[in-house]
Structure 1
Amino acid sequence: MHFFTIDRAKDRPDPRVLMHRSFYASSLPRVMAVCRLFGHKPVVDGYDSQYGPENRRHARWVACERCGVRPDPQGNLNADRWQLGQPYPGPFNGRHFPKEAAHQLAKRGIPYQTPTQPGPWPAQPTGTLAAEVVVGRAHSTGIGVKVGNPGDEHTLQAHLGLGPLGACYLTSERFGTWVQRRLNNEGFQTREIDLSIHSGRLWWKVWARENEHHASDPKWMDGNVHIDPRHHLLGPRRNRKISETDRMPVTVYMPEGDTHQATVHLEQWQSRRTRGRATTYWMAQWDCEAGIPVRNHEWKGDHTYSCAWQIEHVTPDTERWPYILAAKAAEQCTRDRAHYGYRAPEPAA
């Protein structure tokens, strides 16, 4: 068993947050009282898909119907012979093949075939529990739970957000598999039940797919309603751009000594409801066609190209406003470099 914590507040310090810390407990033994008393209940597990290569659209292996534990190796059964959920009577004579040996064979171009028959059940199945606690200002107000799909590393998740008071997030890995297998054991969509308040609306999700919405989904599954009384009394709020300045060329000077050519401009926006007074505000935007590197990454990219933000006390009448925006762009990129741990390239010899 391993226990450790991570201080999240040091990455993005906020004076309104008293504590932001994650707690982890890994390699915890799973209870599985019924399986330990009466043994595992093996069934055929796997998936059927219409995507990918033809030889990978169907797969079958063995898992316990109650706790979800798989033998080691899990087996590679014939998908034409075995149906999902079908009881598996045996045998369990598959031999475990070390991962290091499989990697060595792969380096030499020798394909490794997963044993057809499943092996013995693991003697000490383990799992992981994690919690994230925020004391002070949080970015959420609501409550929700998530039930992971069969391929999700997070079996169950839950959160409670109290806005200015804080928030708490809980996650389990392998713990709660009995619940997951009975509620969401088909497909690859994590399901969630959530109730939250933000942007003047009450939002809800009732067994909805995570980060996915279909036009055919019923309204009761994923929807929202206005709860801000101003919306009903004064009408909806609308924003529109009423003017903007010409784009001005500037040079962004970074603390590491590198410079970048960019353009900046100001936009004047108006916000108003159907009934009531209108308010105006200014938006600042900078663009850098070549990009400014803010992190070191081989394939995700390491450049930021543009950004827009609301700015106060800066208008076209402000003296030297383009240079103020260039300094703000340098400040933002400097914060991003500190967050990602950016390392400037060494000068060529």
Structure 2
Amino acid sequence: MHRFTVDYSKDRPDPRVLLNRGYFINGIPRLILACRIRGHRPVVDGYDWQHGDRERARWVVCDRCGIRPHPQGQLDPDQWQLGQKYTGPFNPTQPLSPIVRKQLINRGHDAAIRLPGAWPAKPTSDVGAQFIIGRTYGFSSEVKVGNPTSEQCLAAHISLGPIGALYIHAEDHGRFIQRRLNNTKWESRETGLRLWHGQFEWRLWAPRDHSKKSDPWWMRGSFHIDPRHYLFGRHVCTIDKMSDKVPATVHLADGTEHEVTLRLERFVHGRKRRKKTTDWRADWTTVTPEGIATGFDRHVQGASVTVSAEAVEAEEWQQEACTAIAAWVTERRTANRLQSTDSA
């Protein structure tokens, strides 16, 4: 086994966060007692791709622990159905690289090569956690059950706002639970509660990455708990473009210059039955497609910066925007540990 930690605060420094560190253990033996005593239970796994050119694939996996033989096999989709018990032969002596196997298959020598190989003798997997002390975003708690292709079959977190948060995940540990609960769909499921921006949200066995109108009402929902929503109405924001795109030059501390285009935008936000607040921002885009370097192999082609109402009234918002862009780039380079000489 191998243990290591990662200090995430180096990438995102925040004075309100006292600790932001990840803890990982690699190579933990899988707890598959039933399979060690009774042997694996091979079933047919795979997919039937319905979009674009129809593509189908079949291989072998253990129905209990989710472990695949090595190689996993390439079965005929016309002969084997998804979830069917695999009763075919194995070929446990295949010391062939993927390239050699592909070459032999292309030459027609695929009768035994496509068979599943041997089960791993000592399967292992990893676990990880991220522990935060200090500011996090909102109060929430969630449990995720992955799908058969998920790298993390089980994951969970609890966030306590200004106190901190804990995130944990298991890669293949818990695959038995995942296969019992979520083995027929190619989408992860999540169950959790969240208190966020004056709203209480819930999800009950909801698809993780999308929602549909046909989903039952109880699967996900939210309601406002902030009394201001009922007294003064919902929070609204309107964005107005107040100028055409105008050229400008950003002068950076390292002596380089970057040509950009600027456009002034007005943000009016607030609750419907209360006085609104007006903010001014300059939306900027680099003229050259490579953008401005903000870190090693990191570039940005555009963003937006805040400008003052006084600068807008004096028609000097372009100069203030260029100064703000230079300060923003310098801040990002400092965070990404990019020296000015490296970006020249």
Partner-residue secondary structure (3-state), 2:81: coil
Counterpart CA distance in 2 for 1:322 and 1:148 is 49
Q: Which residue of 2 aligns with 1:10?
A: 10
Match of 2:321 among 322, 325, 333: 325
User: How do residues 103-182 of structure 1 correspond to structure 2 at under 5 angstroms?
Assistant: 103=99, 115-182=113-180
Q: Which residue of 2 aligns with 1:43?
A: 43
Return the offset for 1:210. 1.6
Counterpart CA distance in 2 for 1:38 and 1:93 is 20
Counterpart CA distance in 1 for 2:299 and 2:170 is 35
Return the offset for 1:159. 0.8
User: How do residues 67-86 of structure 1 correspond to structure 2 at under 5 angstroms?
Assistant: 67-86=65-84
Q: What TM-score, normalized by structure 1, do the two folds share? A: 0.85
Counterpart CA distance in 2 for 1:200 and 1:163 is 13
Q: Higher mean Cα deviation, 267-276 or 225-234?
A: 267-276
Q: Which residue of 1 aligns with 2:215?
A: 217
Q: Which amino acid aligns with 1:183?
A: L
Return the offset for 1:320. 4.7
Counterpart CA distance in 2 for 1:316 and 1:179 is 59
- Counterpart contact for 2:131–2:166, Cα < 8 Å: yes
User: How do residues 266-277 of structure 1 correspond to structure 2 at under 5 angstroms?
Assistant: 266-277=264-275
Q: What TM-score, normalized by structure 2, do the two folds share? A: 0.87
Counterpart CA distance in 1 for 2:46 and 2:102 is 25
Counterpart CA distance in 1 for 2:79 and 2:235 is 60
Partner-residue secondary structure (3-state), 1:196: strand
Partner-residue secondary structure (3-state), 1:15: coil
Counterpart CA distance in 2 for 1:152 and 1:314 is 52
- Counterpart contact for 1:72–1:118, Cα < 8 Å: yes
Aligned length: 339
Counterpart CA distance in 1 for 2:20 and 2:343 is 35
Q: Which residue of 2 aligns with 1:34?
A: 34
Counterpart CA distance in 1 for 2:67 and 2:335 is 39
Return the offset for 1:139. 2.2
Counterpart CA distance in 1 for 2:168 and 2:309 is 42
Gaps of 5+ in 1: none
Give the direction of change, closer, same or farther, for the CA distance of 1:242–1:34 in structure 2 (3 Å limit): closer
Give the direction of change, closer, same or farther, for the CA distance of 1:51–1:247 in structure 2 (3 Å limit): closer
Deviation string 1:76-108 (CA, Å, 9 cap, x unpaired) is 222111222222234222433444xx347879x
How much is the aligned-residue C-alpha RMSD, in angstroms? Answer: 3.0
Partner-residue secondary structure (3-state), 1:195: strand
Partner-residue secondary structure (3-state), 2:205: strand
Return the offset for 1:258. 2.5
Q: Which amino acid aligns with 2:4?
A: F
- Counterpart contact for 2:144–2:155, Cα < 8 Å: yes
Q: Which residue of 1 aligns with 2:198?
A: 200
Q: Which residue of 2 aligns with 1:334?
A: 330
Q: Which amino acid aligns with 1:331?
A: A
Return the offset for 1:156. 0.8
Q: Which residue of 2 aligns with 1:293?
A: 292
Return the offset for 1:149. 1.0
Counterpart CA distance in 2 for 1:6 and 1:127 is 19
Q: Percent identity?
A: 39
User: How do residues 196-275 of structure 1 correspond to structure 2 at under 5 angstroms?
Assistant: 196-241=194-239, 244=242, 248-275=246-273
- Counterpart contact for 2:154–2:174, Cα < 8 Å: yes
Match of 1:281 among 265, 279, 289: 279
Partner-residue secondary structure (3-state), 1:322: helix
Q: Which amino acid aligns with 1:22?
A: G
Counterpart CA distance in 2 for 1:120 and 1:280 is 67
Counterpart CA distance in 2 for 1:201 and 1:64 is 43
- Counterpart contact for 1:205–1:223, Cα < 8 Å: yes
Q: Which amino acid aligns with 1:293?
A: I
Counterpart CA distance in 1 for 2:310 and 2:182 is 53
Q: Which amino acid aligns with 2:51?
A: Y
Deviation string 1:42-99 (CA, Å, 9 cap, x unpaired) is 2222222213544xx2222211111111111211222111222222234222433444
Give the direction of change, closer, same or farther, for the CA distance of 1:209–1:314 in structure 2 (3 Å limit): farther
Counterpart CA distance in 2 for 1:104 and 1:92 is 19
Counterpart CA distance in 2 for 1:311 and 1:223 is 37
